[in-house]
Copies of this chain bind each other. A is one copy, B any other.
Amino acid sequence: MNKNNPFTVVKKDQLRSLGERKLIDTIKVWLGKTNPNTPYGIGDDCAVIPNSNSQLITVDPLIYGRHFDDTVSAYHAGEKLLKRNISDIAAMGGKPTCCVISLTLDPTVKITWLKNFYLGLKDTAQSYAIKIVGGDIAELKGSLAATLTLLGEKTTNRFLTRHTAKSNDLIFVTGKLGLSLPSKHHYTFTPRIKEAQWLVKKMYVTSLMDISDGLAKDIHSLIPKKAAACIYADKIPLKRGATVKNGLCDGEDYELLFTVKPSANLKLFQAQWKKRFPDTPLTLIGHMSPASKKNKTALNLSTFQGFEHLA
């Protein structure tokens, strides 16, 4: 085998032996100072563009056979690609502005399929006042994949990151979790952009992210040092028919997960939310506990796996 060949049958040399989270940590080491500290680098839903402090960038692909299949129409696939990126901009409290799309296509892809895919993209872009400004087309046998890079900007004087929760903060989630695939939620969802833009203005909201790989996995990004997340099984808002495990592990919820200072006026916050977003459930699911005080009735999150990207 040529020494440049990228693949190996030796299991310990394969990327899968690292897994996704360790791989990302390793990439940060490889990149050194070329990768600035979060939120200007790797480690949040978006990166804040260095030297701008007011612009966001995020990238997410949509791959046939991975993120959609023949149960999803081309139009819905186009919508999904843009909406999952919008959800990342929302997760920092930003406003999406413009995007570029890189396509990798087999030449036997139907023209009408691609037309409907672009119509889904266009209609979604129009709804959110996003411009589609460029892209690239490459041919690859057997492939149908699109990678979208979305830019965003500030809507107030701050972005909300994943790394700013404190011990004793309360943990909230929007919507209902689980069963994203069978319920078609994974492409019919509405990104929680209005809700997030409202939250970022509330200074008692301390951190924010969107749930893409399942609550059990994603919550780890919000946990402060020397603390643990106490989440209660009976508090987790579930889609009809979903089990607690579905709610914790299925992924593709595209709901907001955020923390609130314990000193906040919760009654007022919840009343304001209900008035402003009557159709978006808001649920208090637990709190960030100093590790020494971990509550025994809380879920042991380490026994639940979220979506693993390199399995």
Chain A interface residues toward B at CB < 8 A = 2, 4-9, 13-18, 20, 23-24, 26-27, 30-32, 34-36, 40-42, 44, 46-47, 49-51, 57-61, 63-67, 70-74, 97-98, 100-102, 104-115, 118-119, 121-122, 125-126, 130-140, 143-145, 147, 149, 151, 309-311
Contacts and interface: CB of A to CB of B under 8 A. Distances in A.
Contact of A35 (B105, B131, B140): B131
A30 to B, nearest CB: 4
A224 to B, nearest CB: 22
Given A6-B113, A7-B109, A41-B131, 16 more contacts: A8-B110, A14-B107, A15-B105, A15-B110, A18-B111, A34-B131, A36-B131, A41-B134, A47-B100, A49-B97, A49-B98, A57-B98, A57-B133, A59-B135, A61-B102, A66-B138
A285 to B, nearest CB: 27
A136 B42 contact: no
A159 to B, nearest CB: 14
A49 B5 contact: no
How would you classify the secondary structure of chain A's contact residues: helix, strand, loop or mixed?
mixed
A198 to B, nearest CB: 23
A70 B5 contact: yes
Nearest to A68: B4
A16 to B, nearest CB: 4
How many chain copies does the complex carry? Answer: 2
Contact of A151 (B17, B57, B134): B57
A138 B61 CA distance: 8
Given A133-B41, A139-B310, A73 B118 contact: no
15 contacts: A2-B71, A4-B72, A6-B114, A7-B108, A15-B111, A23-B137, A32-B122, A34-B125, A35-B131, A36-B131, A49-B151, A58-B134, A59-B100, A59-B135, A59-B147
B98 A50 contact: yes
Given A14-B110, A108-B8, A139 B66 contact: yes
A13 B5 CA distance: 36
Given A138-B63, A149-B149, A118 B40 contact: no
